[in-house]
């Protein structure tokens, strides 16, 4: 059963709605392109999730879902609460092993969780430094790359406050910047703009367009219908039907 109405390998059918792509013509994406990775050609899949089925205990949340994202493509995942959007993202990020199905990716995956995974009493720079050895970057390189990303997202670079004392929007910007560090090919964003003000929200979509132009495949989980005008493709997840009632 295909809860997302998706066909394996590429896109979705049925519920798939192709939207016109919003083009931002005057974006300063050169610096973003340097910090993010690039090189994948459009039409080349960078993420393929095939036949994903997943349950939490007896509760089935994903059933036969397939998703394919190309380089330079922005895909929105929508669906009502409990439809498994965040679970699908975590499976695509490699954080959850699906009960059935497999995920193929090209290059590194950047994942921005809905609730920022941050240490409460470390500041932004310390988070960057913590990730440096894992990404194979020097302290200097990770600071430069991190500060570039943070300043472009409007984060107060140089603020040494522990993340506990940052606003929700600032925490989310740090969360987003950490997902982009080190050069990624696939970017998974789970409602990434919670706490953003209007300016930051608009700027966020400009950046998404920039990352996409730089060659990334971007997947955004959203509840906002206005967001759908910013993406190439919309995938709607439906809650899988419960166990069938058997009649005697």
**Using an 8 Å Cβ cutoff, are 247 and 24 in contact?**
no
33 binds another protein (CB under 8 A): no
* Per-position x/- string for 90-109, each x denoting binding to another protein as judged by CB under 8 A, each - no binding: ---xxxxx----xxxxxx-x
DSSP per position, 168-234: HHHHHHHHHHHHHTT--SEEEEESTTTT--HHHHHHHHHHHHHHHHTT-EEEEE---GGGGGGSSEE
Q: By CB under 8 A, is residue 135 in contact with another protein?
A: yes
> ∠221-224-227 over CA atoms, to 5°?
80
Query: Which residue, 32 or 178, is less far from another protein as judged by CB?
Result: 178
Which of 36, 60, 76, 181 is close enough to bind another protein by CB under 8 A?
A: 181
- The pair of three-digit structure tokens given for residue 100, joined into one six-digit string: 């059935």
Q: Is position 141 an interface residue for another protein (rule: CB under 8 A)?
A: no
CA 80, CA 83: separation in Å to the nearest integer?
Answer: 6
Smallest gap from Cβ 116 to another protein, in A, equals 8
**CA gap 118, 173 in Å, rounded:** 12
Note whether 34 binds another protein by CB under 8 A: no
Write down the residue that tokens 């929007």 correspond to.
169
Applying CB under 8 A, the site for another protein has a residue count of: 41
Nearer to another protein by C-beta: 163 or 222? 163
Pick 117 or 241: Cβ nearer another protein: 117
Per-residue x/- track, 188-227, another protein (CB under 8 A): ----------------------------------------
127 by DSSP, 3-state: which?
helix
* Binding positions for another protein, 39-68, rule CB under 8 A: 39, 44-46, 48
The residue assigned the tokens 């949340």 is 61
Residues within the interface to another protein (CB under 8 A) = 37, 39, 44-46, 48, 93-97, 102-107, 109, 111, 113, 115, 117-122, 126, 129-136, 162, 178, 181-182, 185
């Amino acid at each position: 059963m295909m809860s997302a109405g998706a066909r394996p390998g590429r896109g979705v059918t049925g519920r798939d709605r192709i939207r016109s792509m919003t083009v931002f013509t005057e974006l300063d994406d050169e610096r973003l392109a340097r910090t993010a990775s690039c090189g994948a050609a459009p039409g080349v899949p960078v993420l393929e999730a095939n036949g994903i089925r997943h349950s939490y205990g007896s509760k089935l949340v994903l059933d036969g879902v397939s998703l394919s994202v190309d380089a330079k493509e922005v895909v929105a995942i929508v669906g009502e609460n409990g439809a498994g959007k965040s679970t699908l993202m975590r499976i695509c990020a490699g954080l959850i092993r699906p009960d059935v199905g497999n995920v193929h990716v090209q290059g590194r995956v950047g994942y921005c969780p809905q609730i920022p995974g941050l240490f409460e009493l470390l500041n932004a720079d310390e988070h960057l430094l913590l990730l440096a050895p894992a990404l194979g970057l020097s302290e200097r390189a990770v600071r430069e790359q991190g500060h570039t990303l943070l300043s472009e997202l409007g984060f107060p670079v140089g603020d040494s406050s522990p993340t506990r004392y940052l606003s929700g929007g600032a925490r989310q910007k740090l969360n987003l910047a950490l997902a982009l560090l080190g050069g990624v090919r696939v970017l998974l964003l789970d409602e990434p703009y919670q706490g953003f003000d209007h300016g930051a929200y608009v700027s966020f979509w400009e950046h998404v367009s920039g990352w996409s132009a730089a060659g990334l495949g971007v997947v955004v989980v959203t509840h906002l219908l206005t967001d759908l005008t910013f993406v190439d493709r919309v995938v709607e997840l439906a809650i899988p039907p419960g166990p069938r009632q058997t009649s005697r």
